[in-house]
Amino acid sequence: MKITLQNIGRRFNREWIFKGVDYTFENKESYAILGSNGSGKSTLLQVLNGSLAPSAGVLAYSYEDKSVEAEDAFTYLSLAAPYLELIEEFSLNEIIDFHFKFKSYKTGLNRQSVVDLLSLPGSPNKLIKYFSSGMKQRLKLALAFCSDTPMLMLDEPTSNLDSQGIDWYLSLVERYSANRLTIICSNQEHEYSFCKNRLSIADYK
């Protein structure tokens, strides 16, 4: 998957969050979007994944040299972010099954693989509303990494994770981020240290 930005900007009311972004996110590369809290990292990510329209400029998607319409971009991506809500009334098994009605598993994976990956013994039938914030974050990450999509977008991926959870996240990166466009919004180096490319929001104010 490839995303091309030409003079992209986004504003709320009269205030520009960022503007003049000319950038290309290349297929199978890894990128970190960097900036302080409140700088606009998440807003840019939402523009990139099609959930927010840019206020200025042109954004284009292509996959295998074919153009992809903006409204179809979500079918090519997996996303994990603090502001994404999980369905609290579902059990772990139910939410995994629900998620993979819309996405395909990566080769060799299935529901049990995801449960095992989470290392939450006794939890398959536990309701999500009884999960801790760290368990919910692990679940969001596992669903994103285990989905067979050419784009992976992560916003503050280690939010609510302890040191063991951070190590777990980095193991997912090693196992499941290869050969897909990976974009991470962060201001913590351990979350994006593996990214080959860096984009700073401060450069587009």
- At residue 19, the pLDDT reads 96
pLDDT, tens only, 2-42: 999 999 999 998 899 999 999 999 999 999 999 998 899 99
Beta-bridged to residue 105, according to DSSP, are 147
Gap between the Cα atoms of 157 and 160, Å rounded: 9
Gap between the Cα atoms of 137 and 157, Å rounded: 8
Q: Which of 167, 170, 120, 165 is nearest to 145 (CA)?
A: 170
- What pTM was estimated for this model as a whole? 0.94
The mean per-residue pLDDT over the stretch 163-169 comes to 96
For 44, how many CA atoms within 13 A lie in the half-sphere containing its CB?
A: 36
Gap between the Cα atoms of 7 and 59, Å rounded: 9
Can you read off the two tokens belonging to residue 132?
Answer: 């801790």
| Mean pLDDT of the residues in the chain | 95
Q: Which domains does the chain have, with CATH numbers?
A: 2-204 (3.40.50.300)
- At residue 123, the pLDDT reads 79
Percentage of the chain surpassing pLDDT 70?
A: 99
pLDDT, tens only, 62-106: 999 899 999 999 999 999 998 899 999 999 999 999 999 999 999
Q: Which of 35, 16, 3, 13 is nearest to 155 (CA)?
A: 35
Please enumerate in sequence order all residues whose Cβ is within 8 A of that of 56, keeping only pairs 6 or more positions apart, or say none.
7, 8, 9, 10, 11, 19
Please enumerate in sequence order all residues whose Cβ is within 8 A of that of 38, keeping only pairs 6 or more positions apart, or say none.
none
Can you read off the two tokens belonging to residue 28?
Answer: 């199978």
Can you read off the two tokens belonging to residue 170?
Answer: 């980095």
- At residue 142, the pLDDT reads 97
The confidence band for 114, taking pLDDT boundaries of 50, 70 and 90, is very high
Q: 114 exposed, middle or buried (CB, 10 Å; 0-12, 13-18, 19+)?
A: buried
Q: Provide the 8-state DSSP code for 86.
A: P
- At residue 127, the pLDDT reads 95
